[in-house]
Amino acid sequence: MVRTVAFDALDPAAHEDALGKVFAEGDVDMVLLAFGTLGDQAHDERDPEAAVRVAQTNYTGAVSAGLVCAGALQAQGHGSLVVLSSVAGERARRANFIYGSSKAGLDAFAQGLGDALHGTGVHVMVVRPGFVRTRMTAGLPEAPLATTPEAVAAAVELGLRRRAETVWVPGALRVVMSALRHLPRGLFRRLPV
């Protein structure tokens, strides 16, 4: 049986209550933080309030939900918090820096939280997928190394078994992003990414 609880990332004041209902049902082995919004970069650059909604959903919404879940997992003494970050947060691109910057913040937050919880029995795993064919990317031109939600799920499962701290999907993106991250700015700017 699946039970659902209403949750709005944009309403952090309600997170303790909403997520508390889930933890009140019994121990939770794994929390998958998988909400997010891509926004519309071209539009949002001209509409700061829309841009802020992207940032608040992906970053501050996750800070709040992540801390509530981390506290509950710590109280039960075990469990994993899996956070869906993105390669977009690895280096901001002209084409989607509003979303990318929100994911960069989320990624840094999740890494720090993982360090804070190290040794407590609670494990935080940061997942950095590239282009995944989902509703979020429907209609967008596919990026190289595009993947599927099923491949992300398999990588998450393997990462949990290994108690990994960082997972790239596909794995080759770790090397690709390592190179892209160190490209000189002027060169990176001219890339068709």
Give min distance, CB of 71 to ligand NAP, in A.
Answer: 19
Q: Which of the ranges 12-20, 29-37, 71-79, 174-182 carries the binding residues for ligand NAP, by CB under 6 A?
A: 29-37
Q: Which of the ranges 2-10, 15-23, 68-76, 117-125 carries the binding residues for ligand NAP, by CB under 6 A?
A: 2-10
Q: Of the residues 99, 109, 131, 168, which is catalytic?
A: 99
Q: Catalytic site residue 59?
A: no
Is residue 90 within 8 Å of residue 38, measured between CB atoms?
A: no
Residue with smaller CB distance to ligand NAP, 8 or 29:
8
Is 8 near ligand NAP (CB under 6 A)? yes
Is residue 66 within 8 Å of residue 116, measured between CB atoms?
A: no
Q: Restricting to residues 93-152, which ones interact with ligand NAP according to CB under 6 A? A: 129, 131-132, 134-137
**For every residue of the chain, which 3-state class applies, written as one string?**
CCCCCCCCCCCHHHHHHHHHHHHCCCCCCEEEECCCCCCCHHHHHCCHHHHHHHHHHHHHHHHHHHHHHHHHHHHHCCEEEEEECCHHHCCCCHHHHHHHHHHHHHHHHHHHHHHHHCCCCEEEEEEEECCECCHHHCCCCCCCCCECHHHHHHHHHHHHHHCCCEEEECCCHHHHHHHHHCCCHHHHHHCCC
Is 36 near ligand NAP (CB under 6 A)? yes
Q: What is the C-alpha to C-alpha distance for residues 35 and 7, in angstroms, rounded to an integer?
A: 10
Is 66 near ligand NAP (CB under 6 A)? no
Residue with smaller CB distance to ligand NAP, 9 or 73:
9
Residue with smaller CB distance to ligand NAP, 120 or 148:
148
Residue facing ligand NAP at closest CB distance? 36
Please select the residue that binds ligand NAP; options are 22, 35, 67, 160, rule is CB under 6 A: 35
Residue with smaller CB distance to ligand NAP, 76 or 174:
174
What are the residue numbers of the active site? 99
